[in-house]
Amino acid sequence: MAVKPKLVSAINDQIQAEFQSAYQYLAMAAWFEENNLQGFAHWMRLQWQEETNHAMKLYTHLMARGGTVALQAIKAPAKSFSSALQVFEQVRKHELAITERINVLYELAVKEKDLPLQIVLQWFINEQVEEEAVVEGIIDRLKLIGADGPSIYLLDRQLGARQAEGAGETA
């Protein structure tokens, strides 16, 4: 079943949003590296990689179904932040916006009776639940520890231990 033009456009918009997310996370990684928080930077670089993979999942789906991928411009991301807490509060706000976009796209897929896209988007819906929970946990810890150097250092080490999506899994 070919993808309807309305859905092709909406999927392309979501591909752009995922690449925009990746670009924002890479800018956040750079800010953390500039502030000698390598663990936070590592976490953000893995986020960049995940968001890029999300865009490619939609790209692959669209191509497999005979759609046309139309890559869109990516805006320069924010690059100045005041604290790790501010960064993660922006991450939360951003992830909530992405969740809303995914939900709207899913509703459109239901309206257009596109079952294959609904299945792909169900994966994204589950992923967003996980993303939001992880970010909330980090924000909670940042609020708990404040800007205290030793505490930030310990959280930096913890975030630096994050593995890439699928790392450590065996077939």
169: three-class secondary structure by DSSP: coil
Mean pLDDT of the chain: 94
pLDDT digits (tens, 9 = 90+) for 82-125: 999 999 999 999 999 999 999 999 999 999 999 999 999 999 99
User: What is the pTM (predicted TM-score) of this model?
Assistant: 0.91
| CATH 1.20.1260.10 fits domain 5-70+79-160 | yes
Tokens read off for 117:
């896209």
Predicted confidence band of residue 166 (pLDDT cuts 50, 70, 90): low
pLDDT digits (tens, 9 = 90+) for 8-40: 999 999 999 999 999 999 999 999 999 999 999
Instruction: Tell me the mean pLDDT in the region 72-80.
Output: 96
Predicted confidence band of residue 170 (pLDDT cuts 50, 70, 90): very low
User: Pick the residue with more confidence: 95 or 168?
Assistant: 95
Round to whole Å and give the CA distance between 72 and 19: 9
89 vs 37, 96, 121, 134, 141, CA distance in Å? 17, 11, 25, 12, 12
Round to whole Å and give the CA distance between 153 and 157: 6
